[in-house]
């Protein structure tokens, strides 16, 4: 190839580069999307965990929703009230008081209390239990499998399997809800941090069947209902439930429960 050809080719490449650069520069200016500066401030105030517990795709999604007025300023469950107040200052509004929530596992049937029908040596994943005999090795089909799907899902190391059941560390829990979504038996729910008493059982089997499977299972006897002066407990489908808004924490249900199913 001659020197002239090389120079021509180089000139063409340079011209194309200049044209593309100018085109992109003009397009960038013309099609520039204006971003509310408050959005960046809100994003900086958020903890940056991108856990999705707020219901939006990461912290940036929540920041955009807050600035647009589509989400409350205290919509981040991880940041809680302190972050909500800070974002409220950025948005020029008062952050409503929020109740700190934590995850709760409604099962107390650990290895010492729950009956085991057989020894399981397969894949240790709770979601697999639906395909094994009896729904898992434990006698209670409603109980915690103890294979830690919730542990794997928690980004805050706030839940661990202890003696065969999942246990939540209230102080480390950020109420992101990932463990709630991960539990195939729907044993985990978010409750107020200062909740006094909860029924640590999810079984809806009849009393005799529950007693055969677990020594601390709720048998739906209704004694807790009779002893609650505030109407905070109901029994449905052989299972007791406590209304946290009515519960005063008097402890009468705990004292009277014959199976010690209320914690």
Q: What is the pLDDT of residue 10?
A: 67
- The Cβ of residue 93 has, within 10 Å, a number of other Cβ atoms equal to 13
> Inter-axis angle of helices 37-45 and 80-91, to 10 degrees?
160
User: Which residue has tokens 């099609």?
Assistant: 31
Asked if residue 114 lies in contact with residue 138, where contact means CB atoms within 8 angstroms, the answer is yes
Q: Can you read off the two tokens belonging to residue 211?
A: 């007693």
C-alpha distances in Å from residue 185, one per residue of 22, 100, 129:
58, 24, 10
Q: What is the pLDDT of residue 135?
A: 87
Closest to 149 measured CA to CA, from 187, 101, 195: 187
Domains of the chain and any CATH numbers: 37-91 (1.10.15.40), 100-193 (3.30.70.20), 195-263 (3.30.70.20)
Q: What is the pLDDT of residue 29?
A: 62
What is the pTM for the complete model shown? 0.78
- String of DSSP letters for the chain: --HHHHHHHHHHHHHHHHHHHHHHHHHHHHTPPP--HHHHHHHHHS------TTSSSHHHHHHHHHHTTSS-TT--TTTHHHHHHHHHHHHTSPPPP---EEEEE-----TTTB-BSS---S---GGGGGGSGGGSSBS-TTS---S-HHHHH-TTS-EEEETTEEEE-TTT-----HHHHH-TT--EEEEETT----B-----S-HHHHHHHBTT------HHHHH-TT--EEEETTEEEE-TTT-----HHHHH-TT--B-
Q: What is the pLDDT of residue 240?
A: 96
- The Cβ of residue 132 has, within 10 Å, a number of other Cβ atoms equal to 14
Q: What is the pLDDT of residue 36?
A: 77
Q: What is the pLDDT along the chain (263 residues), one digit of tens a residue?
A: 566 766 666 667 777 777 777 766 776 566 555 667 888 899 999 988 888 888 888 898 999 998 988 888 888 988 888 898 999 999 988 877 778 899 999 999 999 999 999 999 888 899 999 889 888 999 999 999 999 999 999 999 999 999 999 999 999 999 999 999 999 999 999 999 999 999 999 999 999 999 999 999 999 999 999 999 999 999 999 999 999 999 999 999 999 999 999 99
């Amino acid at each position: 190839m001659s020197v002239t050809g090389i120079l021509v080719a180089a000139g063409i490449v340079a011209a194309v580069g200049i044209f593309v650069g100018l085109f992109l520069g003009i397009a960038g200016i013309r099609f520039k999307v204006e971003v509310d500066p408050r959005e960046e401030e809100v994003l900086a105030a958020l903890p940056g965990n991108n856990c999705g517990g707020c219901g939006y795709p990461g912290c940036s999604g929540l920041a955009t929703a807050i600035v647009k007025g589509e989400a409350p300023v205290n919509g981040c469950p991880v940041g809680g009230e302190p972050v909500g107040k800070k974002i409220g200052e950025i948005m020029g509004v008062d952050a409503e008081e929020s109740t700190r929530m934590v995850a709760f596992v409604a099962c107390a049937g650990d290895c010492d209390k729950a009956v085991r029908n057989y020894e399981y040596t397969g894949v240790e994943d709770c979601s697999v239990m639906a395909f094994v005999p009896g729904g898992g090795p434990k006698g209670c089909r409603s109980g915690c499998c103890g294979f830690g799907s919730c542990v794997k899902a928690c980004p805050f190391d706030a839940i661990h399997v202890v003696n065969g059941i999942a246990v939540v560390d209230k102080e480390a829990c950020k109420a992101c809800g990932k463990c709630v979504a991960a539990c195939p038996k729907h044993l985990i729910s978010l409750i107020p941090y200062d909740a006094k008493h909860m029924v640590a059982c999810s079984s809806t089997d009849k009393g005799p069947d529950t007693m055969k499977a677990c020594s601390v299972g709720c048998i739906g006897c209704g004694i807790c209902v009779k002893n609650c002066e505030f109407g905070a407990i109901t029994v449905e489908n052989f299972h007791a439930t406590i209304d946290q808004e009515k519960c005063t924490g008097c402890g009468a249900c705990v004292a009277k429960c014959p199976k010690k199913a209320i914690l």
